[in-house]
Chains A and B, each alone.
Chain A
């Protein structure tokens, strides 16, 4: 299988505090992981691409100083929402691309179960 986990599954925090969300590939290595955000009744929007051992690539409009991404190993990426505000309340989902032995741009992403963040 190709299982991706996220922790925590839900979190409530006070405005101004920071929250860390973990994304783990449980049974495969993932040099590249992705972070998405989903607001109610909206689709998933890519926030950033996380690369093991290098800096993350952020999509336009996403503040890199607010959403800190660390991809410290081949199975773990973390997203830290710093100085969270109520407008950051959302459903955060990560995905992982399974590393392949051959060069192939046609790959599948495996998604985690998501983390529901509520900022009060």
Chain B
């Protein structure tokens, strides 16, 4: 059974710092990996999606990498801002018995606080 782990569980840094969030998954048989942002009491905002054949994706100050063979992904946030404060979730779409329409397996998230 696929398991997704995110480290650290919580992180607090001063504004302006660059930071890295880590995600690991136990089964490398995945279609893709996705990073989300969740604000308190809200739904999910998709940040980046990396297909299994890709190594990284970039969007603005965000860069996500994927090493499928080792079961790892990182989300790099450059020049952090207070508005980046949120919970960041990593999720994989496993290649499994469900064929082409399985749901995602999520990690528990990293709660990020950017201090002004």
Contacts and interface: CB of A to CB of B under 8 A. Distances in A.
Nearest to A45: B106
A62 B34 CA distance: 25
A106 B101 contact: no
Nearest to A115: B43
Given A43-B89, A43-B107, A106-B51, A49 B102 contact: yes
A111 interface: yes
Contact of B101 (A32, A42, A113): A32
Contact of A106 (B44, B52, B106, B109): B52
**Interface size band for B:** 20 to 34
A77 interface: no
B76 interface: no
Q: Size band of the A side of the interface? A: 20 to 34
A87 B52 CA distance: 37
B100 A46 contact: no
B107 A57 contact: no
A60 to B, nearest CB: 10
Contacts of A32: 101
Contacts of A51: 101
Nearest to A112: B43
A112 B45 CA distance: 9
A43 B108 contact: yes
A93 interface: yes
B49 A114 contact: no
Interface string B88-116: 01010001001011111111110000000
Contacts of A93: 43-44
B42 interface: yes
